[in-house]
């Protein structure tokens, strides 16, 4: 889909500096842009590319003053990065599927609201409810009695098991599984016996989940991801976990069963969190930390394995990284003390 500078200016509430009729069909990075694309200048470090870019349209700040000739048509906006987000969202929507493929398998009892798009080879089981504007890519599986809100995007290969609930404006990327069984077993006569997992997963509104994640259903009750959470790729969320509002979690994090994570937490990559603990609101956990216990104190910073206070860890690290040298110094002191004993 092509848009003129005049169309984009109205869309972004921008002022035009150049040809209002020039057209673009896609966004590009400023250093790689070709004719027919729109790019942006948000960081002054990249200003040199503004004079060499081949982009047809360049989004810049209102107060941008070129030091050389710029061939691109300029769209002047109050906030470049906000405008970029709006622009990319527009092009993303235009690239999404439209309508319902004849190759999708949809149970007659499923209820689909208006403007739902479903691609080929998707399976939707009985009694599902899917909200308006939701987009479902190919090879998605949605089990029976699943409820999906409005403007949800499910990318290829997503699997949502029976009885789970997805709120409005949620995005789930490829091959993520929502509602698989929790890791529940009991030893009986020397063998592990499976404990039925009868709960579900509840994902509230405005949540983003990356690719290849697993969010397990609760044994009883619900595994809950609260509104505004952002999960990276390759994350394991175990049964009965609850993640608080607007918490962000980086890749390869593992959260064990029944852990409760507060609101606005920031969890770095490869963090391991043991089960049945509560992590207070605003906690920041450094990458590769192992969290076994936490003080009941909001806005703390943790580091290490097992994790301790961030500043405490740095002070400790300054010591234990020098332990070999300290050992040598102690041995020399001990040797000197022994020699002095013999000389007395």
Check whether 245 has a pLDDT greater than 70: yes
| Rg (the chain; Cα; Å) | 27
Q: Is the pTM of this model over 0.85?
A: no
For residue 169, is it within any domain?
A: yes
**CATH number for 234:** 2.160.10.10
Check whether 103 has a pLDDT greater than 80: yes
For residues 62 and 74, the answer to whether their CB atoms sit within 8 Å is no
Mean of the per-residue pLDDT values of the chain? 93
Phi, then psi, of 159 in degrees rounded to 5: -125, 125
Q: How many CB atoms neighbour CB 191 within 10 A? A: 8
Query: Residues 85, 181: one domain?
Result: no
Query: Residues 56, 135: one domain?
Result: no
Query: Residues 151, 261: one domain?
Result: yes
Query: Residues 84, 120: one domain?
Result: no
Q: How far is 226 from 241, CA to CA, in rounded Å?
A: 11
pLDDT above 90 covers a percentage of the chain that reads: 81
Query: Residues 296, 210: one domain?
Result: yes
For residue 342, is it within any domain?
A: no
Q: How far is 262 from 128, CA to CA, in rounded Å?
A: 31
User: Which residue range(s) make up the domain with 311?
Assistant: 105-315
pLDDT for position 95: 62
Query: Residues 60, 151: one domain?
Result: no
pLDDT for position 101: 94
Query: Residues 79, 36: one domain?
Result: yes
Query: Residues 259, 173: one domain?
Result: yes
- Assign 3-class secondary structure to 147-159: EECCCCEECCCCE
Looking at the structure of the chain, the number of domains it has is 2
Question: Is 342 an annotated catalytic residue?
Answer: no
pLDDT for position 98: 77
For residue 333, is it within any domain?
A: no
Tens-digit pLDDT profile for residues 194-216: 999 999 999 999 999 999 999 99
Q: Which of 90, 173, 239, 276 is catalytic?
A: 239
Q: How far is 24 from 325, CA to CA, in rounded Å?
A: 63
Report DSSP state, residue 100. B
Q: How many CB atoms neighbour CB 246 within 10 A? A: 17
Query: Residues 149, 271: one domain?
Result: yes
Instruction: Find residue 214's DSSP bridge partners.
Output: 177, 236
Q: How far is 213 from 199, CA to CA, in rounded Å?
A: 19
| Domain end (from 32, 62, 94) | 94
CA contacts within 13 A on the Cβ side of 168: 3
**CATH number for 49:** 3.40.1390.10
Return the closest-CA partner of residue 212 out of 165, 155, 142: 155
Q: How far is 217 from 179, CA to CA, in rounded Å?
A: 4
Check whether 323 has a pLDDT greater than 90: no
Query: Residues 39, 130: one domain?
Result: no
For residue 301, is it within any domain?
A: yes
For residues 164, 175, 195 and 202, what is the CA-based torsion angle, rounded to 10 degrees?
A: -20
Tens-digit pLDDT profile for residues 40-79: 999 989 999 999 999 999 999 999 999 999 999 999 999 9
Query: Residues 53, 117: one domain?
Result: no
Instruction: Find residue 304's DSSP bridge partners.
Output: 307
Average pLDDT over every residue of 127-152: 97
For residue 328, is it within any domain?
A: no
Check whether 93 has a pLDDT greater than 70: no
Query: Residues 161, 211: one domain?
Result: yes
């Amino acid at each position: 889909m092509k848009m003129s500078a005049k169309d984009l200016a109205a869309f972004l509430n921008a002022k035009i500096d150049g040809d209002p009729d020039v057209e673009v069909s896609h966004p590009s990075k400023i250093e790689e842009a070709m004719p027919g694309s729109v790019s942006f200048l948000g960081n002054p470090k990249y200003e040199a590319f503004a004079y060499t870019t081949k982009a047809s349209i360049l989004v810049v700040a209102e107060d941008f003053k070129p030091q050389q000739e710029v061939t691109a048509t300029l769209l002047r906006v109050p906030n470049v990065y906000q405008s970029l987000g709006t622009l990319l969202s527009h092009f993303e929507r235009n690239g999404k599927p439209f309508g319902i493929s004849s190759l999708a398998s949809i149970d007659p009892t499923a209820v689909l609201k208006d403007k739902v798009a479903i691609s080929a080879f998707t399976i939707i089981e009985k009694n599902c409810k899917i909200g308006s504007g939701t987009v479902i890519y190919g090879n998605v599986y949605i089990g029976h009695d699943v409820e999906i809100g409005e403007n949800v995007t499910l990318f290829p290969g997503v699997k949502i098991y029976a009885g789970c609930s997805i709120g409005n404006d949620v995005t789930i990327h490829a091959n993520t599984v929502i509602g698989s069984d929790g890791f529940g077993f009991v030893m009986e006569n020397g063998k592990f016996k499976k404990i039925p997992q009868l709960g579900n997963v509840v994902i509230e509104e405005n949540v983003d989940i990356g690719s290849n994640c697993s969010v397990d259903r609760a044994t009883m009750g619900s595994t809950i991801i609260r509104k505004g959470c952002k999960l990276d790729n390759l994350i394991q969320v175990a049964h009965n976990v609850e993640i608080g509002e607007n918490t962000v979690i980086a890749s390869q994090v593992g959260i064990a069963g029944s852990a409760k994570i507060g609101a606005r937490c920031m969890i770095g990559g490869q963090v391991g969190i043991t089960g049945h603990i509560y992590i207070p609101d605003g906690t920041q956990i450094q990458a590769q930390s192992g969290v076994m216990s936490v003080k009941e104190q909001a806005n703390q910073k943790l580091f290490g394995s097992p994790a301790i206070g961030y500043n405490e860890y740095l002070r400790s690290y300054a010591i234990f990284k020098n332990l070999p040298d300290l050992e040598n110094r102690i041995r020399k002191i001990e040797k000197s003390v022994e020699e002095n004993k013999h000389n007395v």
